[in-house]
Amino acid sequence: MRKLINGKGIDLGVCYYPEHWEESLWAEDLDRMLEAGLGTVRIGEFAWSLIEPREGEYTYDFFDRFLELALEKGMRVIFCTPTATPPAWLTEKYPEVLNADMEGNLIRHGSRRHYNYNSSVYQRLCCNIVEKSASHYAKHPAVVGWQLDNEFNCERDTFYSESDTEAFRCFLQEKYGTLDELNRAWGTVFWNQTYTEWTEIYVPRKTNTNSNNPHQMLDYYRFISDSVCRFAKMQADIIRKYAKEGDFITHNGMFANIDYQRLGRESLDVLMYDSYPDFGYELDTYSPADIMRDRKWSRNLSEVRAVSPNFGIMEQQSGANGWNTRMEAPTPRPGQITLWTIQSIAHGADFVSYFRWRTARFGTEMYWHGILDYSGRENRRLREVREISRKIAAMQEISGSKYDAKVGIVKDYDNIWDSQLDRWHGRVEHFSQKNLFEAMELLHVPFDFVYLENHVTLESLRQYEVLFYPHGVILDRERTALLEEYVAAGGKLVMGCRTGYKDMDGHCVADFLPGLAAKLSGTDVQEYTFVPPDEGRVMADWDGVAIEAAVFNDLLAPVGENAEVLARYTSSYYAGTPALVRNRFGKGEAYYFGGAFALDTAKVFLDKLGVADPWGDVISLPESCEIAVRRGAEATYLFVLNYLAQPAQLLLKRAVKNLWTAAEETGEVVLEGYGVKVYVL
């Protein structure tokens, strides 16, 4: 994938809906955007009817006029394919394009994303509108890039239409070849589910017990992702025929049931993300106990970075959240638009486009505020955006620099999807993912997500001193071999309970656990149990440090001369049994921990493995502030972000340059509430 958005500096932009406003406002709007430093607009993602108002009838003049004006003003344009919202004439004439719920009820026209990816009729009509749009608009000099659709799988990430069932059968035929093989992989002998014809197979349906066959479910998630990827590629292949040299293709994520690694590889030049940290303050879900609130978006941004090291933000929060039916959240407080913009950039964004210019006066999203309110009058948020533009102008040298992390959290889609459908897996996975992220944040450990897939090389893993693969329940030989190579070459790998107990079909292995990871971990799991609820917290002792072994416990024994017990359980009937084994493997070390990772446990691991607070010799700062680091060819940039309303006390242990003021700072420094600093090292 291409490294930079158009290869030039950090850009700001804004989402605009020319169809929502009187045409007489366009010129003034574009002038005001440019004056505020917003040089790119994204348009057209829901505007199918403006190009094809009736089947086979095309009208290009609306966007022609807009593009001409953009060109005249010097505004760059990201044009979208409008396939997220098929028009009423289309769904009325071809109801087979609609998605359905699990009971088979059609998802009707009247909102958005009501289509399914697999209807051949919809695919034909989409190819047609994409071909018409790209062949007409792509050559326009104002156009610099293309967005495919809008937020694949947003709002609804499961598909149960008849077209999906037909496509699911093809997907399975291709995967398994024979029904015998499918019956084996799905374990259909259990509860007499054996299939004798392909036509007996459906996407998951309502069943008694509300449980579908788990192996079918795993394939179903793989199938949804496959459907999205094929749908995206179908569009990207058309756009590539017409796009000018240098124009990019992107998509705005990220949502469930999509393998973004594949989507990116097959169809995109760069991945973008829609970042709405104000959800951290949503009225119905806000919890004062959640110390991460808007800071959680750093985790999402790290997910985007795992696909595109330098990515874009297509929609960055600039006003209050709110549909008229849900998702109410307060207006960003002074400083928060800046904080969230720099949060994106700190994590690798080289393009940030705000959502949206003017707040819609009608429709479901009339409370989802943009920079301007309904009247368009000058306001505090626009003043803050102007100020951000000045800051961005002074930090152009950062573009293209890479996020710097020595710790990785390993993931793969088979395990992500298995943890969605399997409660035993889900309990440990969600618990550990949350706590590992929080521990890294609180101990100021920049980290990356690292996806274990065919395209990952040993070289790319070796940049990490420590990898956590908290619950690699499903393992295959290739992934295990790569992890073995990583450790043998000197890496440290930490695995948690339940590793390796399933194969790629999601069957439990008949081997001794942790299955394929037995050799690498030097560990034998002799028994296992959920932490009994009446037991309280199960603890283990690691050289005098008490760590919790939460949620689930594997009772361990070391195997082989390189394996040693580092910690033993101190509670429950298995007190005295090993809870943590370290295996020296080649030049590195594999750790097998018998529990899921509680917050304090994760902190102890980071500390004992020597990766906590890696910038501690430069700065000390309170837990409430995040640090992020981008490394360029010439310099290293240290971002400090304060997510609280209260000022934070920083201690700079050596003189560093403030990127915005160019002044040297050292010693005690106060960072104001919601404040941000960027230091050049």
For the annotated catalytic residues, the residue numbers are 151, 315
Terminal Cα distance for the chain, rounded: 29
Window 499-538: residues binding ligand GAL (CB under 6 A)? none
Question: Is there binding between residue 154 and ligand GAL (CB under 6 A)?
Answer: yes
When the beta carbons of 315 and 484 are compared against ligand GAL, the nearer one is 315
| CB of 110 vs ligand GAL, minimal distance in Å | 15
Compute the distance between CA of residue 680 and CA of residue 662 in angstroms, rounded to an integer.
9
Q: What element of type H or E holds 447?
A: strand 447-451
Neighbours of 326 (CB within 10 A): 11
Structure tokens at 192: 């007499």
- Shortest Cβ 442–ligand GAL spacing (Å): 29
Return the residue of 6, 85, 119, 150 that touches ligand GAL, per CB under 6 A: 150
Question: What span, in angstroms and rounded, lies between the C-alpha atoms of 542 and 531?
Answer: 19
Instruction: Kindly indicate which of the ranges 150-158, 201-209, 283-291, 433-441 contains the residues binding ligand GAL, using the contact rule CB under 6 A.
Output: 150-158
Q: Which stretch binds ligand GAL (CB under 6 A): 148-156, 265-273, 285-293, 343-351?
A: 148-156
474's tokens:
């499903």
The token pair that represents 545 in the structure block: 């440090």
What is the C-alpha R_g of the chain?
A: 26
Among the residue ranges 127-135, 149-157, 240-248, 481-489, the one whose residues contact ligand GAL (CB under 6 A): 149-157
Binding positions for ligand GAL, 55-74, rule CB under 6 A = none
Q: Which of residues 351-410 bind ligand GAL (CB under 6 A)?
A: 355, 365, 368
Q: How far is the CB of 285 from ligand GAL (least distance, A)?
A: 15
**Does the protein bind ligand GAL through residue 441 (CB under 6 A)?**
no
Q: How far is the CB of 69 from ligand GAL (least distance, A)?
A: 23
Measured from the CB of residue 142, what is the shortest distance to ligand GAL in angstroms? 22
Q: Output the six-digit token pair for 337.
A: 């638009």
CB of 29 within 8 A of CB of 358? yes
Q: Which stretch binds ligand GAL (CB under 6 A): 146-154, 285-293, 294-302, 412-420?
A: 146-154
Judged by beta carbon, residue 315 or residue 438, the one nearer ligand GAL is: 315
Three-state secondary structure of 464-502: CCEEEECCCCECCHHHHHHHHHHHHCCCEEEECCCCCCE
Q: How far is CA 49 from CA 62, 139, 238, 252, in A?
A: 11, 21, 20, 22
Cβ–Cβ < 8 Å for 218, 417: yes
Closer by beta carbon to ligand GAL, 368 or else 486: 368
327 Ramachandran zone, left/alpha/beta (phi>0; psi -120 to 50): left
Distance in Å, CB of 115 to ligand GAL, minimum: 16
Strand, helix or coil for residue 580: strand
Residue 151 engages ligand GAL in binding (rule: CB under 6 A)? yes
CB of 154 to ligand GAL, least distance (A): 5
**Least CB distance from residue 151 to ligand GAL, whole Å?**
5
- Output 253 or 472, the one with its CB closest to ligand GAL: 253
Between 324 and 396, CB nearer to ligand GAL? 324
Judged by CB, which is closer to ligand GAL: 42, or 498? 42
Total of chain residues touching ligand GAL, rule CB under 6 A: 8
x/- map, 290-319, ligand GAL, by CB under 6 A: -------------------------x----
Q: What's the min distance (Å) between Cβ of 365 and ligand GAL?
A: 5
Nearer to ligand GAL, 150 or 435 (CB): 150
On the CB side of 555, CA atoms within 13 Å amount to 14
Given candidates 274, 418, 429, 448, which one binds ligand GAL under the rule CB under 6 A?
Answer: 274
Q: Which residues 6+ apart lie within 8 Å of 197 measured at CB? A: 179
Angle at 379 between CA 378 and CA 382, to 5 degrees: 90
Task: Give residue 345's Cα distance to chain centre.
Answer: 15
Examine residue 212 and tell whether it contacts ligand GAL (CB under 6 A).
no
Could you tell me which of 448, 428, 446, 440 has the C-alpha nearest to residue 602?
Answer: 440
Helix (H, G, I), strand (E, B) or coil at 429: helix
Query: Which helix (DSSP H) or strand (DSSP E) does residue 521 occupy?
Result: helix 518-521
CA distance 274 to 352: 10
| Binders in 597-656 for ligand GAL, by CB under 6 A | none
> What residue spans of 563-625 are helical by DSSP H?
599-608
Give me 549's structure tokens. 């072994």
**Shortest distance, position 201 Cβ to ligand GAL, whole Å:** 33
Cβ 261 vs Cβ 453: under 8 Å: yes
Closer CB to ligand GAL, 87 or 500, in the complex: 87
Residue closer to ligand GAL (CB basis): 113 or 411: 113
CA atoms within 13 A on the CB side of 410: 30
Q: Which two tokens stand for residue 20?
A: 């929502």
**Residue with structure tokens 């756009």?**
239
Q: Is the dihedral of CA 381, 385, 391, 397 positive or negative?
A: positive
Nearest distance from residue 150's CB to ligand GAL, in Å? 5
Strands (DSSP E) found in 502-613: 523-530, 539-542, 545-550, 552-558, 563-569, 578-585, 588-593, 596-597
Residue 663: how many other CB atoms lie within 10 Å: 8
Minimum CB distance to ligand GAL smaller for 360 or for 575 = 360
Q: What is the contact surface with ligand GAL in residues (CB under 6 A)?
A: 150-151, 154, 274, 315, 355, 365, 368
